[in-house]
């Protein structure tokens, strides 16, 4: 059964049964997030619970994860229960549209669904996880506005073009970029993902870039190694 786990330095993630397995997007997002002094964190679309676990490793906040899919929640609960942070991570089955917490959150993170093409994954669960059938850009933006504390921050990762659409939508609710990280697979190709940090504070955003590999397969860049080394065993 060892191949059913993805093992990190301080925790492991069961992902054979889950809708979406551990992937580079989630790890990049979790590694990039600055928790600051956040006391309450929400992970929208938690899946395996990966982001909850990554953020629990780097801060002392109480963390909630939500997901609409029952199978994903079963796996997330297992992963949280196996970790050393089970006393401050809770996961709930809910759409973000229907989720009503007791208090707003200091920090919200999301690795949301992003395929909007007409070619939908054949399995319903996987389709929900990777297409915006259950959570489109507009719904995520309005939900972040509703759930985020006045001085809170939000991080999302999207394909670069869709990230700009999300920023445009979030601006309708007074949310604007603080930082952006443009991610490319190699130094000679355009960015394929953007991580953006947003808040209600108006400022000129700090922009940076990262490429994952230097050019050869598995020849990882120093910047990628530095960002993820607290988590990946290989670094």
> How would you classify residue 193: left for phi > 0, otherwise alpha for psi between -120 and 50, otherwise beta?
beta
Q: Is 142 within a domain?
A: yes
pLDDT value for 123: 47
pLDDT of 122 higher than 50 = no
Q: Is 20 within a domain?
A: no
Range of the domain at 42: 27-228
Q: Is 5 within a domain?
A: no
Percent share of the chain, pLDDT over 70: 88
Q: Is 194 within a domain?
A: yes
CATH number at residue 135: 3.40.50.150
pLDDT value for 16: 63
Q: Is 216 within a domain?
A: yes
What rounded mean pLDDT belongs to the chain? 90
CA distance 98 to 66: 11
Over the stretch 158-181, which tens digit does the pLDDT of each residue have? 999 999 999 999 999 999 999 999
Task: Write down the pTM of the prediction.
Answer: 0.90
Q: How many domains does the chain have?
A: 1
Local structure of residue 190 (DSSP, 8 states): -
Q: Kindly report each contact of residues 171-175 with a partner whose C-beta sits within 8 Å and lies 24 or more positions away, as own/partner.
A: 172/141, 173/141, 173/142, 173/144, 173/145, 174/145, 174/200, 175/141, 175/144, 175/145, 175/148, 175/199, 175/200
Residue 153 contacts residue 144 (beta carbons within 8 Å): no
Q: Is 6 within a domain?
A: no
pLDDT of 102 higher than 50 = yes
């Amino acid at each position: 059964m060892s191949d059913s786990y993805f093992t990190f330095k301080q925790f492991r993630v069961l992902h054979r049964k889950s809708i979406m397995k551990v992937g580079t997007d989630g790890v990049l997002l979790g590694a990039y997030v600055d928790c600051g002094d956040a006391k309450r964190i929400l992970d929208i679309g938690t899946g395996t619970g990966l982001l909850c676990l990554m953020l629990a490793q780097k801060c002392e906040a109480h963390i909630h994860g939500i997901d609409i899919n029952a199978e994903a929640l079963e796996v997330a609960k297992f992963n949280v229960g196996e970790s050393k942070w089970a006393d401050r991570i809770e996961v709930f089955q809910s759409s973000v549209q229907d989720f009503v917490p007791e208090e707003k959150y200091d920090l919200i993170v999301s690795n949301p669904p992003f395929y909007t093409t007409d070619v939908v994954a054949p399995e319903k669960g996987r389709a929900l996880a990777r297409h915006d059938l259950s959570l489109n850009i507009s719904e995520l933006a309005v939900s972040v506005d509703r759930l985020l504390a006045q001085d809170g921050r939000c991080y999302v990762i999207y394909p670069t073009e869709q990230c700009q659409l999300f920023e445009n939508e979030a601006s309708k609710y007074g949310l604007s970029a603080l930082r952006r990280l443009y991610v490319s697979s190699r130094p000679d190709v355009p960015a394929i993902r953007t991580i953006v940090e947003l808040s209600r504070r108006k400022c000129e955003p700090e922009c940076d870039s990262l490429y994952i590999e230097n050019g050869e397969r598995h020849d990882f860049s120093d910047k990628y190694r530095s960002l993820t080394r607290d988590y990946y065993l290989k670094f």
